[in-house]
Amino acid sequence: MPGALLARSSRFVAALLLALAVPLARSHAQGPTAIIEGRVTDAVSQRPLENVQVTIDGTQLGAMTNASGNYRITGIPTPSGSAEVVVRVRAIGYSRETRTVTVTSGQTARRDFAVTVSAIQLNQVVVTGSGQKTEVKRLGNTVAVIQPPANAPINDISNLLTAREPGVSGLVSGGLSGEGAKIRIRGNASLSQSNEPIIFVDGVRINSGGGFGIGNGGGGSPSRIDDIDPSTIERVEVLKGAAAATLYGTEASNGVIQFFTKSGTSSSPRWTMQLQQDAVDFGNRVAPNSGYARTQARADSLATYWNKPGLKAFEVFEVPVFKDYITETGLGNIASASVQGGGQNVTYFASGRYYRENGPFGGNDYGPAQDVVRRIQTTANLSLVPTKNLRVRFNNAYYNTANETPENNNNIYGVNSLSYMARPELANCNASTYISPGRCSGAGNAFGNQAFMTVREAMQVTNKTSTQRYVGTLDASYTATERLTLSSTFGFDYAAQRDFGFSPFGYNVDLFTSNNPDGSRQVFSAGTRVLTLDGKLAYNRDFGPFTTSNVAGLQVFNNRTETNTGSSAFFPGPGIEVVGAGGQNISAGESFLTTVNGGYFAQSQIGWHDWVFGTVGGRYDFASAFGKDAGGVFYPKASLSVVPSDRQGWSSTLLSTFRLRAAIGQSGRQPGAFDQFTTFSPQVTAVGSGLIPSQLGNPGLKPEISTEVEAGFEAGLFNNKVALEYTAWTRTVNDALVPRTFPTSGGFRNSQLTNIGTIDANGMEIGLRSQVINKNTNKLELFANAAYLNQTLTSLGGAPAIRVSGGYARYRIYLKEGAPLGSIYEPRLASACGTVPATNAAGKPITCYNNGQIPINFNGRGTAASREELLAYFATPRDIQQSSVQSTLQPLLADYEGNGILFEQRVGKSIPTWTGAFGGTWSFASHWKIQNTLEYRTGYLVSNLTDGFRLSQHPSIGSNRREFSELQSVMQNPASTPEQRVQAAETYIRGYRRLLEPGLYQGQNGSFLRWRELAVTYNFGADMAKKLGFRDASLTFAGRNLLMWTKYPGQDPESNENGRGSTGSLADNFQNATDGFGLPIPRRLSLALNLNF
């Protein structure tokens, strides 16, 4: 089915291309025309500027400058023999220039432009959220524009969106190759629905989901937006919330991101080529495994096994299992090429890119599992101008991607989790022959795993996903009159995904695991189609000092997903390992899901003297997911933009440009397609199949409504060499969809979504950009930005608090009324008396301990133990892994909240309060350019569950970091003194008793500063490039995630057990900052050769 649909879509595309080409071939002779050409340079340095947009007002005509700064615009109508036209020049980082030029039929007019540097860009033209091309200064809401930095280490779209814009966060979750990032704009605008922004490419909505269709542990999950070739992106426009995204209606409350791909130019063909080699490694963030021998005989054996001569009993030793045996230096290759050009009526852009990376996850000596990503990305964009009033754009992209990942993250069968949990003092090759440290000739327990399976057995399991995808856009714009323009867009996005999870027959190569030793297989296939239909009418007219801009239209999205799943286990033998051959755990399933969302929208803008602008608009939406009693919903918007510096007579060197703006608007988030219905699920039994109650249903279900108000300013200082931007915003989400459990007397036990919640949030965003130096051979640009976020769950509508992880008690993130979103609740150890208030919020005493006491709840009696009684207890050695010792040495907990629940004391939240980035670009000595970006996050906690196991007393998992092994050795060693054992017990109770009281000490400061990007480029210069046969040539050395500064003691504050998902589950939305056996973010170095000809 997916292949057939792709074939039909290809034939449809070919037919459309032919239909568009015929009118062009038959185009009638046009009237007299003229040509304008010229050169655009920097006014100070006189450097020619490339890729500057030069357009003719009131027409579809324009051109881009080449590497020499030259442009040429042909086909300018001159019906009366001559005409005056307005030529506009827009260049990123420069002020806009406008000139009137007189042209004559059959002749070429010349007009050169010298543009001045400007750190502020209020005249930049945007499309997203306004319905038509509009200058930024006319909008009262923020529209962020991201320009992909040239030669930066950007291998995918997730990298492109990270650390670029305040309030926009790319949340990576681990270090496996091909792993995608969650995207968040101004935090979370929903509890139970997806918090991902909706994604458009060239006006077409695309599938922006992610994840595997099979279970692999959560890490390594791809994102569908990473299918897109980042080298084809010309710019990105971001709407940060409901105040800006109103015209996109339901589903836009989390913001909108639109990517614009490159287009052709009226010039001879211009080719680019890039060859890149990457090296990737995990660094040294994972702590070694430690242990000790209880007897000298075992110490002697381990000394031989691990090559640790002279090892003594109770002497702690370390083995870096993950670093030395499971990782390697990963290698990646990129080869890409593109061409753009065209003539008067046709322009084109085409590109192809091949990307393959075998990542830093290694261990190939132990099994076939690996982390590999391979992407084939092609793009072909064609623009046609059959007549002076009609422009047709036809964009096409085909992507073929494949990922392979091992079992990973918080997964008892994960390779990395098993390597983290191994105890080297238990390693042996008893079932075969010892070869070298960590290697046996056959079956064995090479690293000392005690539960689930060995590392080598986990390495036999493979997980693969592959996707074929086509995205097509047909866009037509017809200028009926000087004031009236009609446009329409049709988009088609289809992705065919196939996933496989496979454990071969007899994969229990160490004879250890009992988990389906005869093998198992999971299969998943999905076809996802997104159709976009968008039609608009724009009418613009001026009345004296007033300008008006009006747009109205219709937009419809039709999404359909078809899935098929199957699994089985216990194959009859090797080579017969397909789902149909399994003898147990056989399952199969399929689903079909179609949703339709559409709405009417209109917007009107009035300007006065080109410095005061007011805008009102709205959208009326319908969706198939709304309950039958809900009807449609209307989302209004209004905004005001005032630019005093554009008033006649304004002249200030200090405050060269100044704008004030404010906006208010609404948007929504719809429930799932079937959430409104009462449903039943099939149940297969030994006597036949039947139905059981599944979902209660709610015919009144409606979308969440997000109302957002934002206000701010932009200031250009010192002749616009410094730009300062500030935005403050507040948001209220009413009718938030809350999963609520109803009485089970009717048989419906599952939770049901209801519109009963309220979420309040506010924040601010600050941006600073400066052109510090602008000389011919020396140019320095600096930037810094910051975003503040505060979110509160105001009401759950009477529903009880929700633990995000469901029944898993060791994840401590809750959704509670009156608390910040993502709040972490844990047990808290009692403090010394006098250092905390005497009573809590409920007026009850807060438990504390006095001088001479230790916060140990001795034998559970409820009071602190004295040092004397602990010395008596530790007169003999104690094994902390014995339950009797654990029961005696309980922590003394306190109720600081006054809620009466010792295990639910709020300690912080998992969502950062402040995020931001800073850096700059330095071009010097004519040939060199250095680009730097550093990113930071602060004001949040990471739930460190990895060390919860590795630094605690679990009998079979972990307990294997040096800090814990040393105190455990001291308490158990007969040669230790009672005082030494008491000191070890106090250290244990203050920091290492983490599992028996779930969450104790688990929330840890996750603040960090990361050197996110570095790129050093050497440009060979025009003369050298010409000798080599190229127009331009450069060499770039780049790095990503080079260094990190943090007090976080775990593996990585960005690591998260829950990877890029495709749903709006509570885990996808709020299980952030959870270091649960994940992989650290890798360091990447690359060398790229960039050629233009």
Partners of residue 126 on adjacent β-strands? 134
The pLDDT value recorded for residue 25 is: 36
pLDDT of 1050 higher than 70? yes
Structure tokens given for 217: 């542990």
Q: What is the mean pLDDT of residues 444-460?
A: 95
Alpha helices in 55-185 (DSSP H): 157-161
Share of the chain above pLDDT 90, in %: 71
Helix (H) or strand (E) holding 885: helix 883-888
pLDDT digits (tens, 9 = 90+) for 630-641: 788 999 999 999
pLDDT of 14 higher than 70? no
Q: How far is it, in rounded angstroms, from Cα 31 to Cα 799?
A: 71
Question: E strands, 68-150, where?
Answer: 70-77, 82-90, 97-104, 108-110, 113-115, 125-126, 134-135, 143-146
pLDDT of 1089 higher than 60? yes
The mean-pLDDT minimum among 143-147, 356-360, 686-690 falls in 686-690
Mean pLDDT, the chain, rounded, equals: 91
pLDDT digits (tens, 9 = 90+) for 44-89: 878 888 878 898 887 767 888 877 788 888 888 888 888 889 998 9
Q: What is the mean pLDDT of residues 441-460?
A: 95
pLDDT band at 266 (very low <50, low <70, confident <90, very high): confident
Decide: 569 and 516 in contact? Cβ < 8 Å. yes
**Which residues lie closer than 8 Å to 715 by C-beta, 6 or more apart?**
120, 655, 657, 658, 659, 723, 724, 725
pLDDT of 965 higher than 70? yes
Structure tokens given for 328: 């390697």
Decide: 448 and 459 in contact? Cβ < 8 Å. no
Classify burial at 689, counting beta carbons within 10 Å of its beta carbon; exposed 0-12, middle 13-18, buried 19 or more: exposed
Distances (CA, A) of 504 to 365, 443, 576, 732: 17, 16, 9, 52
pLDDT digits (tens, 9 = 90+) for 810-821: 999 999 999 999
The pLDDT value recorded for residue 694 is: 82
Which of 993, 953, 976, 968 is CA-nearest to residue 871?
976
The pLDDT value recorded for residue 191 is: 93
pLDDT of 997 higher than 60? yes
SS3 45: coil
Whole-prediction pTM: 0.92
The mean-pLDDT minimum among 464-468, 681-685, 836-840, 863-867 falls in 681-685
Decide: 789 and 761 in contact? Cβ < 8 Å. yes
The pLDDT value recorded for residue 19 is: 42
Q: What is the mean pLDDT of residues 452-477?
A: 96
The pLDDT value recorded for residue 1 is: 40
The pLDDT value recorded for residue 26 is: 40
pLDDT of 704 higher than 50? yes
The pLDDT value recorded for residue 879 is: 94
The pLDDT value recorded for residue 362 is: 87
CATH of domain 157-282+327-413+452-684+706-821+912-944+1008-1092: 2.40.170.20
The mean-pLDDT minimum among 706-710, 865-869, 944-948, 1059-1063 falls in 1059-1063
Q: How far is it, in rounded angstroms, from Cα 199 to Cα 196?
A: 9
Share of the chain above pLDDT 70, in %: 97
**Which residues lie closer than 8 Å to 150 by C-beta, 6 or more apart?**
1017
Please, what is the Cα angle at 286 between 281 and 288, to 5 degrees?
120
State the greatest distance between any 2 C-alpha atoms of the chain, in Å, as a whole number.
109
The ranges assigned to domains in the chain are: 34-116, 157-282+327-413+452-684+706-821+912-944+1008-1092, 828-893+952-993
The pLDDT value recorded for residue 30 is: 53
pLDDT band at 7 (very low <50, low <70, confident <90, very high): very low
The pLDDT value recorded for residue 97 is: 87
The pLDDT value recorded for residue 4 is: 42
pLDDT of 866 higher than 60? yes
Q: What is the mean pLDDT of residues 99-117?
A: 91
pLDDT digits (tens, 9 = 90+) for 369-388: 999 999 999 999 999 988 88
Q: What is the mean pLDDT of residues 935-955?
A: 94
The pLDDT value recorded for residue 61 is: 79
**Which residues lie closer than 8 Å to 429 by C-beta, 6 or more apart?**
305, 435, 440, 441, 444, 445, 446
CATH class as words, domain 34-116: mainly beta
pLDDT of 585 higher than 70? yes
pLDDT digits (tens, 9 = 90+) for 185-207: 999 999 999 999 999 999 999 99
pLDDT of 959 higher than 70? yes
